[in-house]
Amino acid sequence: MVAYGIPAMVHVSTSCNARTSAHASARTSARTSARTSINTSAHITASVHTSKPPAIAAALDQGKTADPYWQPLFAGYDFSKQWLRENTPDVGFLVYNDHASAFSLDFIPTFAIGTAASYAPADEGWGPRAVPVVQGHPELTAHVAHIAHRAHSVIQDDFDLTIVNKMDVDRGLTAPLSLMCGQPPSDKFAWPFKVIPFAVNVVPNPEPRTPCPAAAAALTWAAPSAVPSRAMTSR
């Protein structure tokens, strides 16, 4: 489910009703009590894999997709974009690697899952990409990460995740969206589905082994146990 340096997206269709009450203790305390009731159902409908070297994002952003050098590559995505328009998921579970935007060598988790309601495009040194804000799915993420109260979770299955409540996302996540979805029109400037970001360390050692069966088994098991709906995985 994880190919390092190559984003993957899981297609998920979801139907979800959630009620959450939470109380956090004083700022100096690390304890948080939370009670969450979730009624969800989901299923994985597809898995999509694509490359995303930095030059591809630059060519997209600089309008070079029709240049002779780039045209054959981007033409190869026409079929995939049409397929995605006909099979749009409710949620994409996008496995990617961060490029020192949300994390750095001072702090880089092996696996990190985003729990936010939205993720802004990161500034990688030359300004954020001119792409829509990525909308998250906190309820489904909560189930997968076991923030919410559920009978089973990936954490209970000994696959421990770093929980990220706020972060920006760089080309590692937004370039695959651009390649698969195209550039949204200005009058409807939004991605066609919500996204759960799942960042994997591919920089300093130790890296997780490739493939990582514990991660794949836990995540593919957790999604169907959460919700009836459509999901797509991408890596």
What is the enclosing helix (H) or strand (E) of 230? strand 230-234
Q: Tell me the one-letter amino acid at 208.
A: P
Q: What is the pLDDT of residues 177-189, one digit of tens each?
A: 999 999 898 899 9
Cis peptide before 206 (omega within 30 of 0): yes
What is the mean pLDDT of the segment spanning 197-225? Answer: 69
Q: Tell me the one-letter amino acid at 229.
A: S
Closest CA to 95 of 177, 187, 206: 177
Closest CA to 219 of 38, 88, 94: 94
- To the nearest 10 degrees (0 to 180), the angle between helices 171-181 and 78-86 is 80
Residues whose CB falls within 8 Å of the CB of residue 28, separated by 6 or more in sequence, listed in order: none
Give SS3 for 143. helix
| Four-point Cα dihedral 90, 94, 99, 101, nearest 10 | 40
Token pair for 232 = 């797509």
The pLDDT assigned to 158 comes to 56
CA distance 26 to 147: 19
Q: What is the pLDDT of residues 124-133, one digit of tens each?
A: 888 999 999 9
CA distance 85 to 99: 29
**142 neighbors 36 (Cβ within 8 angstroms):** yes
Cis peptide before 211 (omega within 30 of 0): yes
Q: What is the pLDDT of residues 7-58, one digit of tens each?
A: 555 555 554 443 333 333 322 232 333 333 444 566 778 888 888 778 898 9
pTM: 0.75
User: Residue 72's pLDDT band (boundaries 50, 70, 90)?
Assistant: very high
CA distance 10 to 197: 11
Domains, the chain: 8-17+37-234 (3.40.830.10)
DSSP 75-136: HTTHHHHHHHHHT--SEEEEEE---SSS-BTTB--SEEEE--SEEPBPB-SS-B-SSPPEE-
Whether 191 shows a pLDDT value over 90: the answer reads yes
What is the mean pLDDT of the segment spanning 113-117? Answer: 93
